[in-house]
Amino acid sequence: MITIDITGRTPIYEQIYRAVCSEITRGVYKENDKIPPSRVLAQQLGLNPNTVTKAYQMLERDGIIYSVTGKGSFVAGSANPNGALTRDFESKVREMLKAGVPADDLVRIIENVKGEFEK
């Protein structure tokens, strides 16, 4: 189930994008599985349908899902839900290295965050 933080700084459509990617990564949805229609998801989450549609358009643009007219949206066979997150991460790492943050500090940050998930 997708949960949204309406008080957070991350736009809601990005939260939906990441939540769908997470569900694919965790195996909730597999190749060619149908995902909930945007209107249904919007109703479940109490959101404007245009917000969910925007997230679905981004997912389709990134090759994570595909749409079939009259049938709905499905998980793409070549879905790489971590692709966008990886690009974002790489961009931030480059930004931090250019700012002079030592690579060892970045590794330490990753290890600390990883430790949070292992508890």
Q: Note the pLDDT of residue 91.
A: 87
> Range of 98's domain?
83-118
Q: How far is residue 40's CA from residue 30's CA, in Å, rounded to a whole number? A: 20
- Work out how many domains the chain is built from and give that number: 2
Q: Taking residues 98-113, report their average pLDDT.
A: 92
Query: Which pLDDT tens digit goes with each residue over 53-98?
Result: 999 999 999 889 999 999 999 999 865 666 666 777 888 899 999 9
Confidence at residue 82, expressed as pLDDT on a 0 to 100 scale: 65
Helix axis angle, 83-98 to 12-25, nearest 10°: 120
On whether residue 4 sits in a domain, the answer given is no
Is residue 7 one of the residues assigned to a domain? no
DSSP label of 36: P
Structure confidence by residue, pLDDT tens digits, 19-44: 999 898 888 999 999 999 999 999 99
Partners of residue 66 on adjacent β-strands? 74
* Amino acid present at 107: V
Query: Is there a domain that residue 1 lies in?
Result: no
**Is the pLDDT assigned to residue 7 strictly greater than 80?**
yes
- The neighbouring-strand residues paired with 72 are 68
How confident is residue 119, by pLDDT bands cut at 50, 70 and 90? low
